[in-house]
Amino acid sequence: MKTNKLIIFFLILLIALFLQVNWRVAAGWSPEFVVGVLIVSAFYLNLLEVAALSVASAFFLGWRPVPNFEILLLIFLPLFIAYFKKYFPWRNDVNVLISLLFSISVFYSLTNFGALVSDFRIFSFIAAATAFFVFLMFHALNRLYETHQH
Amino acid sequence: MRRKENLLILFLLAVLFLIFFSPSLGWKFRAFLAPGASPNGDYKNTVLENDSLKTELAKLRSLKPAAPRQENLLPASVYSNYPFNFKNELLVNIGGENGVKIGQPVFIYSASSGYKILVGKVEEVLRNNSLVETIFDSRFQMSARVGESGVNSLLKGGNTPFLSLMPKDSKVAEGDAVYSASRDFPFGLTIGKVKNLRLSSDGFFMEADLDTTYNVNDLITVFIDTAYEPKK
């Protein structure tokens, strides 16, 4: 497959952003599609490409004049996964799901732990829906590309 | 390979520049992806009228008339909103320079009829912008009264805000008006109506969802009462 992986991921990111924004308008909550794309990208792209995609996501999702803690987490969690994936012991399709659940849990634990506990049912829906999206995306991309190794 | 890396670094720097010096481009792009906001700030007049009249009636029947309070409702355009779950914040285009203070109430307001509904409160004030924590934020909490008998309850924010701690034998019905009774807000501001009234899981209290009849993600203009002095 000669098409540039980064461009494909950038297009998927835009689709994920569209889904996330509109889902939230319609339902008041949404799966974390953008985080999902970033986590999958950590398994297919190199560190610099993941950084580019994460920073672009931060630009699209930023809602304050100056980036705050949530936006910094959005940038650094995929980079953390991209760097440490070589130490994960399982198959990559399992690693990607565990990385996603880890990232979403860390994200909400650090940004709104109270809601994570009191609205655990909604959190479970969000995690399950995002995991399903990530599972489909990872396997679709796996037919086209090999995962990235250090 | 080296050229590709240089291009990526250039891209990274350009996006970082945009994040810090022109974040509004990102907000505009997101707004473009999710159109459908109300075309003007005079939010659905009939919705405001219905809910506000119910509150007025409840206040008249259950309370002594309060002294009129001076208001200064400043219109504020909504630039962007919180993109993740559980929190619900709006960034608006007026701030400290316009007299906005932390804790001031934020409304949907119809200038033509004068009716208004409480949407949230100012959470953070910057020089030219403010962040509003809406009643859909899971951290939001306030005392509220329900219906013509003025039943006390606790309004807890969230994706579906709900009313709790209403005594089991209280005279509350579906559709009753819900209005503010917190020391952090002016008294008697319309918040919404009672929906899905039920017994709490422990069986000691009544609880209900709050019917707000508007979509907070649709708002493009809100109003901040800059004359209100928030309690310390």
More confident residue, B200 or A147: B200
**Rounded to an integer, what distance in angstroms lies between the CA atom of residue A110 and that of residue A79?**
17
More confident residue, B201 or B69: B201
- CB atoms B159 and A28 under 8 Å: yes
Q: How many domains does chain A have?
A: 1
Question: Is there a domain that residue A95 lies in?
Answer: yes
**Rounded to an integer, what distance in angstroms lies between the CA atom of residue A97 and that of residue A19?**
20
**Rounded to an integer, what distance in angstroms lies between the CA atom of residue A19 and that of residue A31?**
9
Tell me the C-alpha to C-alpha distance, in Å, between residue B97 and each of B22, B209, B230: 20, 37, 17
Question: Is there a domain that residue A149 lies in?
Answer: no
Using pLDDT thresholds of 50, 70 and 90, give the confidence band for residue A32: very high
The residue of chain A with its CA nearest to that of B16 is A55
Q: What b/e string do you get for B73-95 counting C-beta neighbours within 10 Å, with b at 16 or more?
A: bbebebbbbbbbbbbbbbbbebb
Question: Is there a domain that residue A19 lies in?
Answer: yes
The residue of chain A with its CA nearest to that of B157 is A115
Mean pLDDT of the region B65-91:
81
Please report the pLDDT score of residue B40 as a whole number.
Answer: 45
Q: What is the mean pLDDT of chain A?
A: 88
Question: Is there a domain that residue A36 lies in?
Answer: yes
Please report the pLDDT score of residue B86 as a whole number.
Answer: 86
ipTM at complex level = 0.83
Q: Where are the domains of chain B?
A: 2-33, 42-232
Chain A, residues 65-104, CB within 8 A of chain B, namely 65-67, 70
- CB atoms A63 and B89 under 8 Å: yes
pLDDT for A54 beyond 60? yes
The predicted-structure confidence for B8-65, as pLDDT tens digits, reads as follows: 899 889 888 888 888 888 888 888 887 655 544 455 556 666 666 666 666 555 555 5
Please give the structure tokens belonging to residue B179: 């209005």
Put simply, whether A19 touches B (Cβ < 8 Å) is no
Burial class (CB in 10 A: 0-12, 13-18, 19+), A30: buried
Please report the pLDDT score of residue B115 as a whole number.
Answer: 79
The predicted-structure confidence for B129-153, as pLDDT tens digits, reads as follows: 999 999 999 899 999 999 888 899 9
**Residue A119 structural domain:** 5-142
Question: Is there a domain that residue A150 lies in?
Answer: no
Please report the pLDDT score of residue B105 as a whole number.
Answer: 92
Question: Is there a domain that residue A12 lies in?
Answer: yes
Percentage with pLDDT > 70 across chain A: 96
Please give the structure tokens belonging to residue B182: 């917190």
Chain B contacts to A (CB-CB under 8 A): 5, 8-9, 11-12, 15-16, 18-20, 23, 25-27, 29-30, 33-34, 36, 79-87, 89, 91, 126, 129, 131, 136, 138-139, 158-160, 215, 217-218
Please report the pLDDT score of residue B60 as a whole number.
Answer: 58
Q: What is the mean pLDDT of chain B?
A: 83
**Rounded to an integer, what distance in angstroms lies between the CA atom of residue B169 and that of residue B205?**
8
- CB atoms A60 and B82 under 8 Å: no
Mean pLDDT of the region A32-39:
94
Q: Which residue is it, tokens 């990235």?
A: A148
CATH number 2.60.40.10 is the correct assignment for the domain at B42-232: no
- The four Cα atoms A147, A48, A22, B108 give a dihedral, to 10 degrees, of 150
